[in-house]
Structure 1
Amino acid sequence: MTIGELLKEYRITQGKNQKEFTDSGMIVSQSYYSKVEKNIHRITADSLIELLHYNNIPLDEFFGRINQNDKIQHQQVKDFNNMLVDAYYDSDVNKIKQIKELVIQSNLPDKDKKEELFWVDAWLEVLKGPKDTPNTELREKVKDKIFNLPNFNKSNVALFCNFMQFYDLDSNKIIGRRIVEQYINSKDIKIRVVLVKSF
């Protein structure tokens, strides 16, 4: 289903004409919008989001209906990540190796599969004992990925905490300071719980 077809479906379901749906042409002109519904013109991301908000259409619901495949792949990646975290906290190297096979056999796009395999190897690396030879190249890549995150949501804070042993003390202080500065005035209980558990 195209964006235009889905917009038309929502508009008709709400019993609105194109003028009402576009806030009397304030969001996008009615003539342009008509061509969007017919898949003649494309709508900008800003206009689409404004249109969805104006008509009380949840963004995740709308985009989830555009491409079910994306939603399935996103859920699959989320499931793999949850399984990896569980296996890590159980210190179950064999389970992580089984997850690696599942990722290899999955139908994720190559880019996503490569990213997931990277994190599987990272979790295996963090579980290495003091007598095991460290993969310094992999550790540096993990450190760079986490260090260069633009912001730290709940998942990224947890990710940093699980891999903080790869960093030196000064780097841990820098990242820790960035996280605290980002959330110092936050009233979000979930992030506070993650921070308390992590630090």
Structure 2
Amino acid sequence: MTIGEALKETRKNLGLSQTEMAYPILTKSYYSKIERGIHEINASDLIKILEMHDVDISEFLVKCGVKDNKIDKEYWEEQLSQAYYDQDLNKVKELELEIPNIKTDNYTKDLLKSMIMLNKANLKGSIDTLPDEMKKHVKSLIFKAENWNKENLSLFSISLPLWSDQEMKPIVTSLLKKYINIENFPREMQILVSSIMVNYLSLLIRSSSQNLDLVEDIFILLDNLPVKPLNCFGKIMKNFYRAYFQGDDKKIQDILDFFTNNDMNKISEILKVSI
């Protein structure tokens, strides 16, 4: 059975229309062509759709003929991201044990190990005490690839506290130059780059950085994010940090209250210490 056929069967078993099955991950038009075998679906979007409807991913893959015990890298990365926002150190440790079984090359596994190491350090509040050799290794991994990609951008996003003000300025400037028209890049890159910019805004504030001349260009990039559900977090964070720089305490509190009132207390708590 193809993935499109399996999706169609799953959707019908759930009693959903194509729009209900795919939105807001994909449009009905694009999703319909996946079911008919005209278009393919990437692993990240497939996982999001299945998780949105509480479909067992392992069972679904078996239905499609995938019977090995290897772990999908994109699924693993989404679990790691969720564990961090949940402040769940035990889950991060569990994910660390799964790295040998992830379907990817050794270089990428090294990147994933570094992501685990930094996430653990962030959750323990010990990132500043990492040995210099570890810090150098992370930095060398990020720039080992010739171009920015999902993995080195993800690692860079959580490695920001490792870099000095002087090191950060040319890196962020180059990212702003490349991605300022963020709406022209794939959805996955929009989410990654905007998360880097949001994290950097927090770092600028907490570290009393001298690179405040970058702030306005960061806001321009975040303003250019397309208005889509998957970019909501980036848009909200732009407003949160803009309110901080404008001294708008009421708007800051309104945004914190929004998260708290919508069962996202942990995000609200993280934001309180980010400024």
Q: TM-score, normalised by structure 2?
A: 0.38
Q: TM-score, normalised by structure 1?
A: 0.50
Which one has the largest radius of gyration?
1
